[in-house]
Chain A
Amino acid sequence: MLSPMKTLLCLALLASVAAETGCTAVKAYHLDHPVTLLPNNISLAYIEFDDNGEMYDQHLTSDPASPLVRPELDQTIQRIQDLQAGSTAGVNVVVFIHGWKNNADNTSNVAGFRDFLNEVYSFYSGSSSGPPASTRPLMGIYIGWRGESLEVAQDLTYFTRSAATLRVAGPHLEEALYRIIRTVKTVPRGATSTSPSTLIVIGHSFGGRILERVMTPYFEQKMLSLDGDHLQGCAAGSVNINDTSRWRITDPLPDLTVLLNEAAPATDAKQFLEFLKCHAVAYSRQDPGYQSQDVNYPLFLSITSDGDAATSIALPLGQAVGSLPLRTRNYSAPDPPEIPSQITYFTHSTANIPALNSHEVRASSDTCAAHGETEVHLAQANPAGYHFCTVPTTKVAGEPYWNHTPYWVAKIPVAIVPDHSNIFRPELYKFLEFFLPSPETLSGRSRSEQRVSGK
């Protein structure tokens, strides 16, 4: 039996070893300078959340009696407003929520995001017909959380980090994201056109799970609150997706919300897909830069690499262990019919359930028509080297395919993203450009208009 003194010393030794070699500190890395400048005047801001989902705060002055403020969010919003005030052409904002085994320190993930911002800058500034890049400033916002809790043996942290995502996707992050959306996309009072600013939000891996949990209620609330009379229950039978008696939302929405290699069970997606499906929600934007009629766009774009072993192999194994204390049920009338049990949604990510996939990415040498599919045309030309096709998995009479909602789900070839973590690649930038509003659309001459409609 150790004496109390020796026990204390042993504990101190263990704590110091853990602190110096094992556990990642619970701290903000950018509280002093939340907003920084990259080359080409690209702004880079950080908003960090602790392990409990709270934003970091501090006193306004060195006086402990001064009020507590959250400098990272406040200065980020202020920077967006400053950029908008100095640019009649609007501002391009990219928000990124990182995944497992990362934080907001100068990790490879941060380095990759900085590269990504340069690619987006080149995309918009490279347009000959759009306004000069200097009139459309670019800002990146890196959402940090404690995705890395151990510096060694990080694979052991799957369950604790998975649980952390549920805490991070809480009121503070909701406030941060919703304020960013409002600031970027809200039309100034009295203005006749929509905001020319664009907002792209990307969640990677566990960050995708966080983003989905925060944005799903946002989308649902927008649809339910504005024109609820038209939202009736899910009547049995087929849904006419061409119904013209639709309601409309003009509230601010991000231009593109991407779940990239999302490491999350499909339980949330299943419920939201049902909501979108039963109310026949469609999301379209007018994009005069490409064509005059409305073009269907995704509310969510969930894309996962064919070579992503983390979500296709490790996640089902991990979730299978996690499902041991879970009680699931079998559906009496499964919809889609391929998935008769809840356990499938719990043990697989959305994109790894083929029945939920809405699109196929096919090589340029192939065609959509050869597979009975329909090619998607957005504001941009087809993604470089690929065709983006809707999936005709006819299972219910009268429906062309099960997932015809604006929650787009697709697997992407390994040539675009080879695995789970190598995401910041030129091939991915080129692919995502397909879904971005065209530079012409963002010019002062023509403004895009977004519309969410339902039956």
Chain B
Amino acid sequence: MILYSAVSLVSILFIPAAAPDQTVPQTAAPIPPAKPIPPCNSYRLQYDYPLSPVQRSCIWASNLLTTSAVFGAAFGAGYAQLFKTDPPQWGYGPEGYARSYGTRYAAGMSKATGEYLAGLILKEDLRPRLSHKHNPFARIWYAGSSLVVDRRRSGPRFAAATLVGAAASGFTGMAFYPAGSNTVADALERSGMSLAGSLAYAELYEFEPDIFKLLGKLFTPALK
């Protein structure tokens, strides 16, 4: 620790002084081309089409540690502890909570990894899109069907990556859950719950602007 601190102090004090002096060249140079935008720039990850394998890997890596993953697992584990829905063998209290949290987080990582690998192999694009439709039922259908439909520019086609991710999430639990909660039926149930989570996210994504529009009106001064 002391060694690291000393190195840090030295680097803070002396590295800036060693930086090269930035000066303007005296003669006008030709205008250089703009630096390319890195492939994993978040704008490119949102709009580039099709995604390269590197970009898919970046999306996968970013999905491993997200706010929703961290707090979602924490909330789920808390709920399970409170209402005793976890296997009793895990116990209740800090140790049980840690097991529950770890299992949920691992399931989330498995889901992200399953979706990533399936999307990579099957060349599917899982990025959510707004429907731009007006009919609410059409929007609900559009968002829900996006779990199994890849609406690519060349035309829609069946997509399996979300299903694979859900299955990976459910069956990963078989490595953690104790006997009695570890049958194939249990794994399928967990997969179904995972798929339900994906469905909820897809619907929320579609209607999020409208939800915020409605919430925003609560803060808007009235026009009498």
Q: Is B66 an interface residue (CB 8 A)?
A: no
A-chain residues with CB within 8 Å of residue B34 when the two chains form the complex? 36-38, 44, 114
Are the CB atoms of A419 and B22 closer together than 8 Å?
no
The verdict on A69 contacting B224 (CB below 8 Å), with A12-B8, A111-B37 known, is no
Contacts of B9 in A (CB 8 A): 8-9, 12, 16
The residue from A9, A344, A393, A418 contacting B209, defined by CB atoms under 8 A apart: A418
What mask results when residues 1 to 31 of chain A are scored 1 for a CB within 8 Å of chain B, else 0? 0000000111011011001000000000001
A32 touches B212 (CB 8 A): no
Least CB separation from B11: chain A residue:
A16
The chain B residue sitting closest to A317, CB to CB, is B219
Q: Report chain B residues within 8 Å CB of A33.
A: 32
Q: Is A62 interfacial (CB-CB < 8 Å)?
A: yes
Q: Is the C-beta of B68 less than 8 angstroms from some C-beta in chain A?
A: no
Whether A339 sits at the interface, judged by CB under 8 Å, is yes
CB–CB A61/B32 < 8 A: no
**Which residues of chain A have C-beta atoms less than 8 A from B213's C-beta?**
306-307, 312, 414
Within 8 Å CB of A424, what residues of B?
A: 43
Chief secondary structure at chain A's binding surface: mixed
Taking a contact as CB atoms closer than 8 A, the residue among B35, B38, B220 that contacts A312 in the complex is B220
B4, B32, B215, B223: which has the most chain A beta carbons within 10 Å? B223
Of the candidates A19, A106, A112, A339, the one whose C-beta lies within 8 Å of that of B221 is A339
Residues of B in contact (CB 8 Å), total 45
- Which of B44, B134, B224 counts the most chain A CB atoms within 10 A? B224
What is the distance, in angstroms, from B29's C-beta to the closest C-beta of chain A? Answer: 9
B42 part of interface (Cβ distance < 8 Å)? yes
Asked if B12 is at the interface (CB within 8 A of a chain A CB), the reply is yes
**A61 B23 Cβ-Cβ under 8 A:** yes
Do A307 and B23 have beta carbons less than 8 Å apart?
no
Chain A, Cβ-Cβ closest to B131: A415
Task: State the 5 A-B residue pairs at the shortest beta-carbon distance, nearest first.
Answer: A312-B216, A307-B209, A16-B8, A108-B43, A414-B209
Q: Given A12-B9, A313-B218, 20 other A-B contacts at CB below 8 A?
A: A12-B5, A31-B22, A35-B31, A36-B31, A36-B35, A58-B22, A60-B23, A60-B24, A62-B21, A107-B41, A108-B41, A307-B212, A312-B215, A313-B212, A313-B216, A337-B224, A348-B220, A353-B221, A414-B209, A419-B212
Q: B-side interface residues toward A, CB under 8 Å? A: 1-2, 4-6, 8-9, 11-12, 21-24, 26, 31-35, 37-38, 41-44, 46-47, 130, 132, 134, 208-210, 212-213, 215-224
Can you sample 9 A-B contacts with CB below 8 Å?
A12-B9, A36-B31, A108-B46, A115-B43, A308-B212, A316-B219, A352-B216, A355-B223, A418-B130
Residues of A within 8 A of B (CB): 8-10, 12-13, 15-16, 19, 31-33, 35-38, 43-44, 58-62, 69, 71, 79, 106-112, 114-115, 305-309, 312-313, 316-317, 337-339, 344, 348, 352-355, 363, 393, 414-415, 418-419, 422, 424
